[in-house]
A = this chain, B = another copy of it.
Amino acid sequence: MQALNINITIEPHFFTKDPASTDLGKKIVRHSIEMINELGFEAFTFRKLGVAIGSNESSIYRYFESKHALLVYLINWYWSWIEYKLVFVTTNIPSAKEKLNNAIVLLTQETIEDTNVSFINEVLLHKIIISESSKAYHTCDIDAENEKGFYKTYKRVVQRVSSMVLEINPSFEFPHMLVSTVIEGAHHQRYFSEHIPALTDVVKGKNNIVRFYTDLVFKSIS
């Protein structure tokens, strides 16, 4: 996909101060993505990030109230970006099946190029989504956070693809289950293929994950 002059806008309740609005903010986000990838979310701290960007811990807290909040911001950025790409690959496609196919490919494929849409490296961000995003919603605060709309963007993506499923088969009972199974499943399979290969059948270089989930979707809704 070619780079357009677009920008992913993130709603104000995902940050204390908009990181996209300042140099320091962008630096915080950019380097946090790198560091979370390198260290994992647990070992990543605002102190270490501060040292890495030559800034102070307390300054970072002016943008994000906690490292959990930063992760939620990143997750929402990711889903906003996916939503944008989803609209892009499904607009003006007359065939409902082709539309859904494009959507499933988008949701299950590897991210291999940084589109330079922004100050965010999408390849690394996708890796964070795969390895760390479950830590954002497996908390005891999930219910309160869900009410505040923390997972709205993700839900919207699921809703859009579910509608495509219903376009093809209006009587299919479980479109949301199917779509969220595919999304979470693809993430798991990518993680397993790298770390617990006995749980997958992934051969490196082949697009097995995309093919598996595409088949799964079309067979189960027919």
Tell me, in angstroms, the Cα distance from A176 to B134 when the chains sit together: 22
Given A174-B201, A177-B201, A216-B216, verify A142-B196 contact (CB < 8 Å).
yes
**Smallest CB separation, A79 vs chain B (Å):** 12
A180 at the interface (CB under 8 A from B): yes
Q: Which of A118-157 contact B (CB under 8 A)?
A: 131-132, 134-135, 137-140, 142-143, 146, 151, 154-155
Contact between B137 and A135, CB atoms less than 8 A apart = no
Contact call A181/B181, Cβ cutoff below 8 A: yes
| Chain A interface residue count, Cβ-Cβ cutoff 8 angstroms | 49
Residues of B within 8 Å of A39, CB to CB, are 140
* Least CB separation from A208: chain B residue: B174
Closest partner residue, chain B, to A138 (CB atom): B131
**CB atoms of A212 and B177 under 8 A apart:** yes
Q: Hey, what's the 0/1 contact readout for A33-58 against B, CB within 8 Å counting as 1?
A: 00000011011000000000000000
A residues in contact (CB < 8 Å) with B: 39-40, 42-43, 131-132, 134-135, 137-140, 142-143, 146, 151, 154-155, 158-159, 173-178, 180-181, 184-185, 188-189, 191-192, 195-196, 198-202, 208-209, 212, 215-216, 219-220, 222
